[in-house]
Structure 1
Amino acid sequence: MKTANTLWDMEEHFWTRGADSARHMTAKDAVFVLPYPAGILQGDAAFREADVAQRWRSVEMSERHFTQQDNIAVLVYHASAERGDVPIYQALCTSTYVDDDGTWLRLTHQQTPLN
């Protein structure tokens, strides 16, 4: 259960902390699949995209699911996120993490918007 708690905390930080923080917790060639217009982004391109680099004020993750096989873990959840004066963003999300010699790194992230 410790691994699950650690990864859920990391996932929240990806939403709410700055791009530099997220970059340090992400595998070098990680792949992000985000809503249009961002689309499919790999590596540092993900952190140059304005919609990715801008952090959210808060995020609530419900319908949480966690699974782990050896050094790979997957988080699946419903995100409700807030920032600025825009409507609450809702999406179904999946993130995959890899344990790289004792350090968990985000390998993939995908969002399917609900609104």
Structure 2
Amino acid sequence: MEDNRIWAFEESLWTGDADHYRELIDDECVMVLPEHPFVLTGRAAIEAVANTPRWSQVAFSEQQVMRPQEGLIAIAYKAEAAKDGEAYTAYCTTTIRRLEHEVWRVVQHQQTPPPVAAVV
């Protein structure tokens, strides 16, 4: 997958609807999120995030793309998201794997908000 498609895929996870989100997250995913219970796996991870309101916009910076092996992509980035006057910043990682030609699923995602004093 080319870099521009990777970032479009990732953006769609932040802004797409719940059905779109469920379609792109693997049943065997693991997530670490900044809210209790923090560590989530499988269907619990999918439903925890799918059932939250979607961001209306997100911007990525500090973007890194790694391809450790064929069919596996790991990315890291800073996300700055907004919706209805609410803002959110986090440093994130996502790992996606190819299931078949042009079919990719998220198998890992993590979000770490910066300390409050560090948010600019």
Aligned-partner Cα distance in 2 for 1:51–1:25: 11
Q: CA deviation at 1:42?
A: 1.4
| Backbone CA RMSD of aligned residues | 1.8
Equivalences, count: 113
Deviation of 1:51 after TM superposition, in Å, equals 8.1
Letter in 2 for 1:74: A
Q: Give the letter aligned to residue 32 of structure 2.
A: V
1:80 matched residue in structure 2:
80
Give identity over the alignment, percent: 33
Q: 1:45 is paired with a residue of what secondary structure?
A: helix
Contact conserved, 1:79 with 1:90, CA < 8 A, in 2?
yes
Aligned residue for 1:49, secondary structure, equals: helix
1:42-90, CA deviations, whole angstroms, 9 ceiling, x for partnerless residues?
Answer: 122123326863211110000110011211101110000112332x211
- Residue of structure 2 in register with 1:37 after alignment: 36
Query: What SS does structure 2 have at the residue aligned with 1:53?
Result: coil
1:84 is aligned with what amino acid?
A: D
CA distance in 1, matches of 2:49, 2:23: 18
1:26-105 equivalences in 2 (<5 Å): 26-49=25-48, 53-68=52-67, 69-86=69-86, 88-102=87-101, 103-105=103-105
User: What is the match of residue 14 of structure 1?
Assistant: 13
Measure how far apart 1:33 and its partner are. Answer: 0.7
Contact 2:21 2:50 in 1 (8 A): no
Return 93-102 or 2-11, whichever deviates more.
2-11
Structure 2: gaps of 5 or more residues: none
Can you give the 5+ residue segments of structure 1 that lack an aligned partner in the other structure?
none
Q: Normalising to structure 1: TM-score of the pair?
A: 0.88
